[in-house]
Structure 1
Amino acid sequence: SRIYGLTIYKLSLHASMRNWCRVSAVKIGLKITLVLLVVAICYTILYFQLFQPKTTVIRISGSTTVYPLAVKWAEEYMRLHKDIKIEVSSGGSGKGITDVLAGLVDVGMSSRDLKSDEINRGALPIPIAYDAVIVVVCINNPVLSELQVKGIKLSILKEIYSGLVSNWEYVIDKDLNGDGFISINATHAININTGSIEGYSAPIEYEIHPYTRAEASGTAETFAEKIGIGDQELLTGIKVVGNPGMVVAVRDDKLGIGYVSLAFAYGEAAEGVEPIPIDFNEDGVIDEGERLDNYDIAIENIVNGKYLLSRALYFVTKHKPTGMVKEFIKWCLTEGQQYVAEVGYVPLPEEKVHESLKLIG
């Protein structure tokens, strides 16, 4: 029995040792696997830090006019440069200039000339394309055919946005309802028999509904300056946001009148509204340089300087741009100009391209 017990004890000892070896091997294997996993993770992180290109983010904000062009440029540039990410947001020229001066973005967008105080704070305006401000009315406007032929005299446009004229009868110089008066505004009219201005209660069916911009807008600033009012804040009208908001408001109001940038006056973006020529010399005739029959004619008159509501569009940086921001703007001024007309604006002439390139150094 002693021999039997000793045998059992030896067998049990051998089994225990085998189990201990198995457990130890598993533990060692797990430790080795864990170490290899940690090494692999560390190597991967190190590889991406050392060898993978870092993404550079360029932030742009500002003018709703420049926004479609900036988005197009951003898309094309990112397609060519996978390590660059460009974020574009709108909000008006004033916001773009404020943002870039505050360091919130790398590039501001402006559809107006910069003010002296903005330039004194380090803002650098870089012309990138040309545009124009176009007056639009609803396609269902009751005097649309007359407006297309005669346009709107510049002085009357100013009076509309100063609140002095508020009836379409006066704009086209015609008694539309046959009451013997040409309404000027809600309280006065011209007696067509005597030619005198008399007190009068104007018919609301021909009342003018002017629309203007709510935000700090380069389009509104340019419009106010060019028609002789001087400042956006002095424009009378129902306030709307952005070029798209202006198109929608005028489209939905047959008595409405508004103003938009070139890209929103023609094509799909202008559905429901019609561009109206301005009689700049007030001779009662729409001259060749005042015509806006279609996009091509408008472009021709903008390029040759005959359309007086034309303007430059700008990228704005705080001091001279550097690094990737500079390279992006340089591309916009050279290869990127091929996309300007596609978006609906006017490319810079070659000499203006060189001037802008000199600005960024």
Structure 2
Amino acid sequence: MRHRRHWIKHSISVLFIVALLGGLVGCGGGGDAQPAGAEGGVEGTITISGAWALYPLMVRWGEEFQKVYPDVRLDISAGGAGKGLADALAGAVDIGMVSREISPEEEAKGAFWTAVVKDAVFPTISAANPVWDDLQQKGFSREVFQGIFISGEITTWGQAIGRPEVSDPIHVFTRSDACGAAETWAKYLGAQQEDLLGIAVYGDPGLLDAVIKDPLAIGFNNLNYAYDVDTGLPVEGARVAPIDANDNGQADADEIYLTKEQAVNAVATNKYPSPPARDLNLVTRGQPDGLTAAFISWILTDGQAFVDEAGYIALPAERLATEADKLGD
């Protein structure tokens, strides 16, 4: 019976997508849709901008969607969650990728959001950090992170690990662009992005590069930028620092993220704090329709098949169904 309910739910989702796409034949629709071509295929362009966190998976989704609908073009660019949200609300793009919660004020401006997947922000340091061995044993507590990123009371690596004889200064890096990673990291520390201390660097790749080049640096990166997509290990030259989530004064085995698999498992089992774990959202100006709605609906159904292999964490089936229902209201 449970299998039958799953089949019925999947069939309804497929029919919903077909109905949306069918409605584009000979008429307009969200996503700059055009009339069907000679072979009855769907044509149109979907424009997307926003969060670095969601960009790699969105590119994959776009590739897979085009295999099913080859006459659909997807124009995808990264630039931070703030840009994605602003672009969507301004009508500059069809979909904004936003890697943080949508505020009531943003909803009042017309932001319609759909949660599609989950990931997390991780603290990153250089592989050449002089106290790496200590950090693997002790980890960072939330209080220590607050002293580094918010109050500025912790300024040396010795203070961070409880060894006053170590005087090496901590070089703090943050993001210069309005982004979900910084907002989520700040929220974990009880603050907002503008409260974060440090040298501001643009984008996920830029921040990680700055950390790698400086043995005394600390920053934060989205899951799929902290780890190498091919090896599943931290990007060469970087380390993902342990978080002492249970505040017991040491880094337990399930708080050490030497591989991407360990990090993903920690987020999936809720052993990693939330925030900095969070849902990733797609935002449109008002409820989407036409090609845009069909693409988002596809992401919530068939598109979920690519989540695990892309290194993200799937939302529970019940949550995906709830998000899909929002599109059909």
Q: In structure 2, what is the Cα distance between the partners aligned to 1:259 and 1:301?
A: 17
Classify the secondary structure of the residue corresponding to 1:278.
Answer: coil
Mapped contact 2:114–2:281 kept (Cα < 8 A)? yes
Residue in 2 aligned with 1:303?
A: 268
Q: In structure 2, what is the Cα distance between the partners aligned to 1:54 and 1:337?
A: 22
Letter matched to residue 233 of structure 1:
E
Mapped contact 1:152–1:277 kept (Cα < 8 A)? yes
Q: In the superposition, relative to structure 1, how do residues 55 and 209 fare at CA in structure 2: closer, same or farther (>3 Å)?
A: same
Q: Provide, for residues 272-295 of structure 1, a one-character-per-residue CA deviation record: whole Å limited to 9, x for no partner.
A: 111111113322122355332322
Residue in 1 aligned with 2:122?
A: 134
Residue in 2 aligned with 1:218?
A: 180
Mapped contact 2:111–2:284 kept (Cα < 8 A)? yes
Residue in 1 aligned with 2:196?
A: 235
Q: Does 1:291 align with 2:256?
A: yes
Mapped contact 1:337–1:348 kept (Cα < 8 A)? no
Classify the secondary structure of the residue corresponding to 2:227.
Answer: coil
Q: In structure 2, what is the Cα distance between the partners aligned to 1:148 and 1:341?
A: 27
Q: In structure 2, what is the Cα distance between the partners aligned to 1:54 and 1:75?
A: 16
Q: In structure 2, what is the Cα distance between the partners aligned to 1:300 and 1:328?
A: 28
Q: Does 1:324 align with 2:313?
A: no
Name which of 336, 348, 354 aligns with 2:303. Answer: 336
Residue in 1 aligned with 2:22?
A: none
Residue in 1 aligned with 2:161?
A: 172
Name which of 169, 190, 208 aligns with 2:170. Answer: 208
Residue in 2 aligned with 1:281?
A: 246
Q: In structure 2, what is the Cα distance between the partners aligned to 1:124 and 1:288?
A: 40
Q: In structure 2, what is the Cα distance between the partners aligned to 1:72 and 1:54?
A: 20
Letter matched to residue 59 of structure 2:
V
Per the normalisation by structure 2, the TM-score is 0.83
Mapped contact 1:60–1:88 kept (Cα < 8 A)? yes
Q: In structure 2, what is the Cα distance between the partners aligned to 1:346 and 1:291?
A: 18
Q: Please show how residues 59-138 of structure 1 align to structure 2 within 5 Å.
A: 59-138=47-126
Q: Does 1:244 align with 2:211?
A: no
Classify the secondary structure of the residue corresponding to 2:122.
Answer: strand
Q: Tell me how far 1:54 sits from its aligned partner.
A: 6.9
Name which of 200, 219, 226 aligns with 1:265. Answer: 226
Residue in 2 aligned with 1:359?
A: 326
Q: In structure 1, what is the Cα distance between the partners aligned to 2:127 and 2:258?
A: 14
Classify the secondary structure of the residue corresponding to 1:113.
Answer: coil
> 5+ residue gaps in structure 1?
1-47, 178-202
Letter matched to residue 228 of structure 2:
G
Q: Tell me how far 1:92 sits from its aligned partner.
A: 0.7
Mapped contact 1:142–1:255 kept (Cα < 8 A)? yes
Letter matched to residue 301 of structure 1:
A
Identify which range, 292-301 or 233-242, moves more after superposition: 292-301
Q: In structure 1, what is the Cα distance between the partners aligned to 2:195 and 2:180?
A: 14
Q: Tell me how far 1:55 sits from its aligned partner.
A: 3.2
Letter matched to residue 343 of structure 1:
A
Classify the secondary structure of the residue corresponding to 1:148.
Answer: helix
Mapped contact 1:137–1:257 kept (Cα < 8 A)? yes
Q: Provide, for residues 267-317 of structure 1, a one-character-per-residue CA deviation record: whole Å limited to 9, x for no partner.
A: 257221111111133221223553323222222221121211210001111
Q: Percent identity?
A: 37
Classify the secondary structure of the residue corresponding to 2:76.
Answer: strand
Q: In structure 2, what is the Cα distance between the partners aligned to 1:360 and 1:146?
A: 49
Q: Does 1:348 align with 2:315?
A: yes
Residue in 1 aligned with 2:7?
A: none
Letter matched to residue 250 of structure 1:
V
Mapped contact 1:60–1:86 kept (Cα < 8 A)? yes
Q: In structure 2, what is the Cα distance between the partners aligned to 1:265 and 1:318?
A: 31
Q: In the superposition, relative to structure 1, how do residues 292 and 50 fare at CA in structure 2: closer, same or farther (>3 Å)?
A: closer
Q: In the superposition, relative to structure 1, how do residues 156 and 79 fare at CA in structure 2: closer, same or farther (>3 Å)?
A: same
Classify the secondary structure of the residue corresponding to 2:308.
Answer: helix
Residue in 1 aligned with 2:20?
A: none
Q: In the superposition, relative to structure 1, how do residues 56 and 279 fare at CA in structure 2: closer, same or farther (>3 Å)?
A: same
Q: Tell me how far 1:50 sits from its aligned partner.
A: 7.6
Classify the secondary structure of the residue corresponding to 1:69.
Answer: helix
Number of aligned positions between the proteins: 286
Q: Tell me how far 1:218 sits from its aligned partner.
A: 0.4
Q: Provide, for residues 23-42 of structure 1, a one-character-per-residue CA deviation record: whole Å limited to 9, x for no partner.
A: xxxxxxxxxxxxxxxxxxxx
Q: In structure 1, what is the Cα distance between the partners aligned to 2:241 and 2:143?
A: 15
Q: In structure 1, what is the Cα distance between the partners aligned to 2:163 and 2:38?
A: 75
Q: What value does the CA root-mean-square deviation take over the aligned residues?
A: 1.8
Mapped contact 2:127–2:239 kept (Cα < 8 A)? yes
